[in-house]
């Protein structure tokens, strides 16, 4: 009986580990898809649209963790952190923002 219990426990751990690995793969796939969609949206916009979109993304990231929000947005969009700063500080884009 003890061997059966141990076998059952080991099988349970293996199944749990496999389920966790499957969830991680699904989560990575979803994150990649969201990143591709964000990049496509960004590259399909005009200058002031890019600025407003970037501002919103930075605002969302800042709510979760303000430290490094601009760098995470830059990585998501596939641009440099300097470009994100430029978009956030642009007078022209702020004036044209609706």
Predicted confidence pLDDT, tens digits, the chain (98 residues) = 888 899 999 999 999 999 999 999 999 999 999 999 999 999 898 877 888 899 899 999 999 999 999 999 999 999 999 999 998 887 766 566 54
Please, what sign has the CA dihedral across residues 84, 90, 93, 98?
Answer: positive
**Phi and psi torsions of 67, nearest 5°:** -75, 120
d(CA 62, CA 49): 20
Q: Which two tokens mark 90?
A: 């642009």
């Amino acid at each position: 009986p003890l061997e059966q219990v141990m076998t059952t426990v080991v099988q349970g751990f293996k199944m749990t580990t496999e389920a966790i690995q499957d969830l991680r793969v699904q989560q990575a796939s979803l994150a990649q898809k969201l990143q591709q969609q964000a990049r496509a949206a960004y590259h399909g916009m005009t200058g002031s649209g890019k600025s407003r979109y970037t501002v919103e993304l930075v605002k969302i990231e800042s709510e979760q963790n303000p430290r490094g929000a601009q760098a995470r947005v830059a990585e998501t969009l596939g641009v440099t952190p300097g470009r994100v700063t430029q978009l956030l500080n642009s007078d022209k884009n702020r004036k044209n923002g609706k």
